[in-house]
Structure 1
Amino acid sequence: MTENEPIASETQGTRANVVEQGIQMFDRKPIIVKPWQPDIEVTKQLMDKIPVWIRLMGLDVKYWGKSALTKIAGLVGNPIRADSATTMKERMTYARVLVEVPLNEEYPTSVMFENEYGKIVEQEVEFEWKPVLCTKCKNFGHRLQECRKQIKDVAIQQAMLKKLGMQNEVEKEDKVTDQMKGPNQEGDTNQPNDQKQQQF
Structure 2
Amino acid sequence: MIDEDPSDLLQLTDEDVKDELSYWQQAVYGFIVGANPPWQILEGFLKRIWSKYSIDKISFLPNSVFLARFKTEEMKQAVLASGHFLFNNKPLVIKAWRPDIELEKENIKNLPAWIRLNGLHLKFRGNSLPKIANLVVTYVKSVTATEQKTRLGFARVMMELKLGQKFPEKIKFLDEKKQVIYVPVVYEWKPSVCTKCNQIGHDQDKCRKHKRSSVQHKSKQI
CA distance in 2, matches of 1:74, 1:22: 18
CA distance in 2, matches of 1:11, 1:86: 34
Residue 31 (structure 1) aligned to one of 70, 75, 92: 92
Where does residue 21 of structure 1 map in the other structure? 82
What is the alpha-carbon root mean square deviation over aligned residues?
2.6
CA distance in 1, matches of 2:162, 2:213: 30
CA distance in 1, matches of 2:70, 2:187: 30
Q: Which amino acid in structure 2 is aligned with residue 71 of structure 1?
A: K
1:140 is aligned to 2:203 = no
* Pair 1:121–1:152, CA change in 2 (3 A): same
Residue 54 (structure 1) aligned to one of 103, 115, 120: 115
CA distance in 2, matches of 1:90, 1:14: 32
Question: Equivalences for 1:124-135 in 2 at 5 Å?
Answer: 124-135=184-195
CA distance in 2, matches of 1:137, 1:19: 29
CA distance in 1, matches of 2:214, 2:135: 41
Aligned residue for 1:33, secondary structure, equals strand
Asked if the contact 1:73–1:79 (Cα under 8 Å) also holds between the matched residues in 2, the reply is yes
The one-character-per-residue Cα deviations of 1:66-86 (angstroms, maximum 9, x if unpaired) are x31011100111111111111
Question: Equivalences for 1:102-141 in 2 at 5 Å?
Answer: 102-141=162-201
Point out the structure with the larger helix share.
1
Where does residue 156 of structure 2 map in the other structure? 96
* Pair 1:160–1:33, CA change in 2 (3 A): closer
Asked if the contact 1:53–1:129 (Cα under 8 Å) also holds between the matched residues in 2, the reply is yes
In terms of mean alpha carbon deviation, does 94-103 or 4-13 score higher? 4-13
1:5 is aligned to 2:63 = no
The one-character-per-residue Cα deviations of 1:157-182 (angstroms, maximum 9, x if unpaired) are 43455x4xxxxxxxxxxxxxxxxxxx
Asked if the contact 1:137–1:147 (Cα under 8 Å) also holds between the matched residues in 2, the reply is yes
The alignment covers a number of residue pairs equal to 159
In terms of mean alpha carbon deviation, does 56-65 or 39-48 score higher? 39-48
Gaps of 5+ in 2: 1-29, 32-64
The one-character-per-residue Cα deviations of 1:71-104 (angstroms, maximum 9, x if unpaired) are 1100111111111111101110111111112113
CA distance in 1, matches of 2:218, 2:188: 37
Aligned residue for 1:71, secondary structure, equals helix
Point out the structure with the larger strand share.
2
